[in-house]
């Protein structure tokens, strides 16, 4: 497929690299030559210096033959206008990065479609949703509700208290058990496990289950003593913090610590209809944290624009007794380090946004997709087409590529855990886990034969 990306910032650069590894024809446009110069020569990306709003530049990029145009510059108006032009010039699909929450309203969707914009991405809203999801379960590193909650994916760090350690998975999660372990991070290695693999202490394990069995999972991983989150301290009052505060459950109490006095005033205006308390200060100040009740806080969320600051602040909070920490880590080089330091949930806006954009380019019917940074893998919800390969045989006879596992499916709104004897039928929404660069192989199993 041919993809043209306008904007070589964090999201555009990450997305272009992701696409190049999947062998897509990718053109990256930016008006700043220095940004383009930073593109690694190891990636097969055509860098084009120019404005994404220039018709000449778009034509030079071959946007008339583009399957997808993506506008992800820092300027919302540039992205919208570039998408309108790209559509007019022949791009089949367009997506624009925005920072106006009003535009996401379902009532406004037709307006943008009439302009030629197929999808809108607001990374801060996506990141806020992940943060809130993580806070709802204090003992979980990552949570993803699949297909409106019919299935649930839980990423959990295993401690000595877990009762499922050092036993073959075939003895733990058989056909009648209410969960499957679909991925394991052990040190620097990622394992898509088989029946003889075991769970070890300090593994980061990903469980697929249904909502009714979340308490059971909590018991077997030994996390029943973790206190549920009620009091939250958040450091940094940017857009992500605002979106998180506005969607915070009523039973949680939130304090936001912001170092800029003018921003504090703005936060008080934006959050006037909530119970959020805005505090002017430095979230790394021990005396301030103690004064604001850090000892009675169950979760600390660091959302400043500096990855190092967020990691250090979370480490400080952990030393003060906070069990649940969330850090915004925008520098991908720091993600592994943050995980090794036992920072709880790690949020990266560009990988979240890139996942949402990437799913638009898959040929099979993709309902949703998520990149699991910690295990360098993707989880994707694919709908089985009529006459597709995946419907021809039971799962154990499909011959799925190495490093690929099916964790569950949704049929008629009901979540079902998959085992080797499961027969997938057309219309099933199937959760597939795979190592990086395997998606193009996986989607062929779900596409109607003869169409790929």
How many H helices and E strands in the chain?
15, 22
Cα dihedral across residues 376, 419, 168, 197: positive or negative: negative
- pLDDT attached to residue 452: 41
pLDDT one-digit tens code per residue, 271-285? 999 999 999 999 889
Beta carbons within 8 Å of 445's beta carbon, 6+ residues apart: 388, 389, 390, 398, 400
| Contact (Cβ atoms closer than 8 angstroms) between residue 82 and residue 56 | no
Domains and CATH numbers, the chain: 2-121 (3.40.50.720), 142-220 (3.30.70.1450), 231-322 (3.40.50.720), 358-443 (3.30.70.1450)
**Per-position pLDDT tens, the chain of length 452:** 899 999 998 888 888 887 777 677 899 999 998 888 877 676 788 899 999 999 999 999 999 999 999 999 999 999 999 999 999 999 999 999 999 999 999 999 999 999 999 999 999 999 999 899 889 888 998 888 887 788 999 999 999 999 999 999 988 887 778 898 988 988 878 888 888 999 999 999 999 999 899 999 999 999 998 889 999 999 999 999 999 999 999 999 999 999 999 999 999 999 999 999 999 999 889 999 999 999 999 999 999 999 999 999 999 999 999 989 999 998 877 887 887 788 888 998 888 888 778 766 655 466 676 777 666 777 888 888 888 889 999 988 988 888 888 888 999 889 988 888 889 999 898 988 887 667 777 888 887 765 44
The pTM of the full predicted model, rounded to 2 decimals, is 0.84
The CA distance from 317 to 421, in Å, is 47
């Amino acid at each position: 497929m041919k993809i043209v990306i306008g904007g070589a910032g964090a999201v555009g650069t990450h997305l272009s690299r992701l696409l190049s590894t999947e062998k897509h024809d990718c053109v990256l446009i930016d008006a700043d030559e220095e940004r383009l110069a930073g593109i690694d020569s190891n990636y097969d990306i055509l860098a084009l210096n120019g404005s994404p709003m220039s018709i000449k530049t778009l034509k030079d990029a071959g946007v008339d033959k583009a399957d997808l145009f993506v506008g992800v510059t820092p300027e919302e108006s540039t992205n919208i206008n570039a998408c309108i032009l790209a559509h007019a010039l022949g791009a089949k699909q367009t997506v624009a990065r925005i920072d106006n929450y009003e535009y996401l309203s379902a009532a406004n969707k037709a307006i943008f479609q009439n302009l030629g914009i197929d999808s809108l991405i607001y990374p801060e809203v996506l990141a806020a949703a992940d943060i809130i999801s993580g806070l709802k379960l204090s003992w979980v590193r990552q949570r993803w509700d699949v297909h409106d909650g019919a299935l649930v994916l839980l990423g959990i760090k295993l401690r000595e208290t877990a009762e499922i350690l050092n036993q073959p998975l075939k003895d733990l999660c058989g056909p009648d058990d209410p969960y499957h372990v679909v991925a394991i991070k052990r040190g620097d290695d990622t394992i898509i496990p088989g029946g003889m693999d075991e769970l070890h202490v300090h593994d980061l394990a990903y469980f697929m289950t249904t909502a009714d069995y979340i308490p059971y999972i909590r018991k077997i991983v030994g996390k029943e003593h973790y206190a549920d989150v009620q009091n939250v301290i958040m450091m940094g009052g940017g857009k992500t913090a605002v979106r998180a505060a506005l969607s915070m459950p009523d039973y949680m109490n939130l304090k936001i610590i912001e170092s800029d006095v003018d921003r504090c005033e703005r936060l008080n205006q934006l959050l006037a209809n909530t119970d959020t308390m805005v505090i002017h200060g430095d979230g790394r100040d021990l005396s301030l944290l103690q004064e604001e009740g850090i000892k009675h806080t169950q979760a600390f969320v660091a959302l400043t624009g500096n990855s190092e600051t967020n990691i250090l602040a979370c480490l400080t909070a952990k030393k003060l007794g906070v069990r649940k920490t969330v850090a915004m880590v925008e520098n991908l080089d720091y993600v592994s380090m943050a995980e090794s330091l036992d920072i709880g949930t790690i949020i990266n806006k560009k990988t979240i946004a890139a996942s949402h954009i990437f799913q638009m380019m898959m040929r099979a019917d993709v309902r949703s997709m998520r990149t699991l940074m910690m295990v360098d893998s993707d989880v994707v919800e694919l709908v089985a087409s009529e006459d597709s390969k995946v419907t021809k045989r039971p799962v154990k006879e499909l011959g799925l590529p190495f490093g690929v596992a099916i964790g569950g499916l949704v049929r008629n709104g009901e979540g079902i855990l998959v085992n080797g004897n499961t027969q997938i039928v057309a219309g099933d929404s199937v959760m597939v886990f795979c190592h990086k660069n395997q998606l193009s192989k996986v989607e062929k199993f779900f596409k109607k034969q003869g169409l790929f």
